Amino acid sequence: MATAVVPKVYKNYINGEWVEARSGRAFENRNPANTDELVGMFPASTEEDVTAAVDAAKEGFKTWRLVPAPKRAEILFRAAELLVRRKEDMARDMTREMGKVLAETRGDVQEAIDMTYYMAGEGRRQFGQTAPSELANKFCMSIRQPLGICTMITPWNFPMAIPSWKIMPALILGNTVVFKPASDTPFSGYNLVQILIEAGVPRGVVNLITGSGSKVGVPLMGHPDVKLVSFTGSTEIGRTVSEVCAPQFKPCQLEMGGKNAITVLEDANLELAVDGAIWGGFGTTGQRCTAASRVIVHKKVYKEFVERFAARAKALKVGDGLDPSTEMGPCVSESQLKTVMEYTEIGKNEGAKLVAGGHRLEKGAYGRGWFHEPTIFADCDAKMRVAQEEIFGPVVSVIPCNDLDEAIEINNGVVYGLSASIYTRDVNRAFRAMRDLHTGIVYVNAPTIGAETHMPFGGVKQTGNGHREAAVACLDFYSEWKTIYVDYSDKLQRAQIDTASFGRISGD
């Protein structure tokens, strides 16, 4: 079934039914490459809808938690199979609503496929521990248990991949879900939920509500029946999430900003490093938390690198992501474009040297979208705002360095700590960088993007709060450990007190 035949007026999904927002209002979702195209109208939900969705998830939890995990896994496996079959349709829908090129949206859907298959496998791998007791005739074990209702608040840049990171582990562990996708990309959220419905997720287990952060996100994360919140977005909003959850001691998983750097040493394969800087800096129009928005280059190869990097950036074809020849799409929205333009002016005023781009694209078909040139500032000081603050757009700052020690100092000298990369042929320096770069992810001879679903994902400092997404690492966030002791001695035994009865090993 092609997603193009779905009606253009969409609804929330609550308790197994598609329903309109209680307010009766809706908001537009337009194509950022051509704002004349209305992708769809989506519910402008309010706290009433939040209450209904949470109530449905609460009821659904009563039975879903009791479904054996391997049976829950069968549903996720069917969802993965459906995603495989619908991949192309959903990739095209995603390009229409958020702009990145079709090759990338295919990758976004593929990541959802990979995560769904992976978590289906965890249905038979929810292993606990058994251990010998310190007392005779006593058995010890631990098991995972679901928490209850999980709230997922997701961003627009990976509108199927990131929701899958959150929803699939929550479901396989027996939790229920209330999902709020970003208002810029509700269609991809709709498509993912539609897949789960067709795969057989019971009513109330997954609920979808669209709307603003203030009208939906805040009351949702603060609802007393919601047991945990998983959020991906800006550090500013992440701080708000933490503050809302704190009074209830509610666990929250925060994946926030980044100011990631590629380091290019003098012995690097320069062409490979340029390839990495182009992909890392301008993939997804620079709208990734892992984007390589800084490149730190050894002075011995600095001039040659900047020349090659600028030439490649100028040659990139910017346009509609549905055009197979397009290499970089638009910014997701007018506000995001304005942010990029403001930082371009900040960079100029700070004295950075503009070597590529720097302008909005407005002529011809560009005038109907939110397009900006791939932009590179050279000769940046590491303390400039363009080298310190997250821009979330196609703007890269190039910073010279004298050696590896200085490069590491520059890399670590920001408030974020998500991803870092180093290009070098020296294994000793590569391992020093792996040890000393203060980030959650490090790449060697690859850009700062390219995470895989079977490895933990997350950052340090103001990028994250310690919880990791993906892989088995995420299971600890979506479940609680319960330790169980079974005493079959038929008498009172006191741990730490009665252990002396077994005797003491003596050195005499």
Q: Which residues are catalytic?
A: 255, 289
Query: Each residue of 143-180: b (16+ CB within 10 Å) or e?
Result: ebebbbbbbbbbbbbbbbbbbbbbbbbbbbbbbbbbbb
Spatial separation of the C-alpha atoms in residues 264 and 422, rounded to whole Å = 6
Provide the residue count of the chain.
Answer: 508
Which residues neighbour 406 within 8 Å (Cβ) at sequence distance 6 or greater? none
- Write the DSSP string, 283-321: GGGG-STT---EEEEETTTHHHHHHHHHHHHHHPPBS-T
In angstroms, what is the C-alpha Rg of the chain? 25
Record the tokens describing residue 281, joined without a space: 């800096």
Spatial separation of the C-alpha atoms in residues 120 and 473, rounded to whole Å = 15
Record the tokens describing residue 311, joined without a space: 């030439």
Spatial separation of the C-alpha atoms in residues 408 and 403, rounded to whole Å = 9
CB 262 within 8 A of CB 273: yes
Spatial separation of the C-alpha atoms in residues 195 and 70, rounded to whole Å = 19
- Write the DSSP string, 389-415: S---SSEEEEEEESSHHHHHHHHHSSS
CB-count exposure of residue 260 (10 Å: 0-12, 13-18, 19+): buried
